[in-house]
Amino acid sequence: MTSNRMPDDQKFALLGRPRRIWAVGAIHGEADRLAALHDDIGTRFLAGDRLVYLGNMVGRGSGVRATLDEVLAFRRQVLAIRSVIATDIVYLRGGQEEMWQKLLQLQFAPNPSSVLQWMLGQGLEATLAAYGGDAAQGLAAARDGAVSLTRWTNQLRAAQRAAPGHDALFSALKRAAYSSDAAGQPGPLLFVNAGLDVNRPLAVQGDRFWWGGSGFSRIDAPYGEFMRIVRGYDPTRSTPGPVVSPHAVTLDGGTGHGGHLICGCFAPDGSLLEIVEA
């Protein structure tokens, strides 16, 4: 496999070699569980720590806007800690966030009605409703043509911009995050949303980060410089999380499907220090 050493890129977050890394699994709009999780880790977060949200913050659950408001409120709380800076907090793009951003550009899709119907089947309707959208109106606009559909998506975009901090949060999403070893090189931890193709370098994974999770549980060796890959969402929902192996960790407890929210705390060497559930 090609080496994963790469230049600094706006698509990826470099975590350095922190004291600890707190990684939050898929939230899926369950704001109450997120608030409980924040109450727990907020009392223990220290300068030198990092906080990574592993994507799928929105979708499925009924508290999408409240979830993002809670994420932003906790960000302010953490940044109030002496020596903590903005880059210590990272947000990854998940499948739900990717679909939402594609929805806001739906007028450019070759078959917008089919695309919208597929997205609704994947749980996006909760995010649509959170910003005042209606699925039936969207499907009607798609049938009417590009002008009507543009008007509909512009209304959604305006609603997102009207929610304080939401537009900036969606703009700050990264594809993946990784730590550094003692020499400052990538490794040993890589954080993704749902998976990746271990036969491809990190820089060319593209949407495999959120749609390539089917083979994740079979990862049984380091991925280049990364000894351990941590994901927050299991699209197969085959085994309730957390699922921990030497080289792959899944922190999906089933939020959005009646399960729990999971956060893993990792040491700089990649070892899992503790699991927090809400």
Q: pLDDT value at position 9?
A: 67
Asked whether residue 137 falls in the same domain as residue 273, the answer is no
- Given a contact cutoff of 8 angstroms between Cβ atoms, the answer to whether 52 and 251 are in contact is no
Asked whether residue 65 falls in the same domain as residue 115, the answer is no
The answer as to whether 104 is a domain residue is yes
Asked whether residue 191 falls in the same domain as residue 207, the answer is yes
- Give the ranges where 16-145 is alpha helix by DSSP (H): 31-42, 64-79, 95-103, 112-121, 125-130, 135-144
Q: pLDDT value at position 214?
A: 85
Question: Which one, of 108, 161, 153, lies nearest residue 134 by Cα?
Answer: 153
Of 138, 166, 194, the residue that ends a domain is 166
Q: pLDDT value at position 237?
A: 80
Stretch (H or E) spanning 241: none
Q: pLDDT value at position 4?
A: 52
Q: pLDDT value at position 183?
A: 72
Asked whether residue 228 falls in the same domain as residue 181, the answer is yes
Asked whether residue 69 falls in the same domain as residue 178, the answer is yes
Radius of gyration of the chain from Cα atoms? 18
- Whether the CA torsion 22, 25, 27, 33 is positive or negative: it is negative
Asked whether residue 83 falls in the same domain as residue 112, the answer is no
Q: What domain range is 155 assigned to?
A: 97-166
Asked whether residue 114 falls in the same domain as residue 85, the answer is no
Q: pLDDT value at position 176?
A: 97
The answer as to whether 3 is a domain residue is no
Domain count, the chain: 2
Asked whether residue 192 falls in the same domain as residue 152, the answer is no
Q: pLDDT value at position 2?
A: 44
Q: pLDDT value at position 1?
A: 38
Residues composing the chain: 278
Q: pLDDT value at position 162?
A: 97
Of 137, 166, 195, the residue that ends a domain is 166
Residues 182 and 185: their CA atoms lie apart, in Å, by 7
Asked whether residue 129 falls in the same domain as residue 256, the answer is no
Q: pLDDT value at position 74?
A: 98
The answer as to whether 1 is a domain residue is no
Asked whether residue 161 falls in the same domain as residue 177, the answer is no
The answer as to whether 212 is a domain residue is yes
The answer as to whether 2 is a domain residue is no
Could you say which residues of the chain have pLDDT below 70?
Answer: 1-9
Asked whether residue 101 falls in the same domain as residue 89, the answer is no
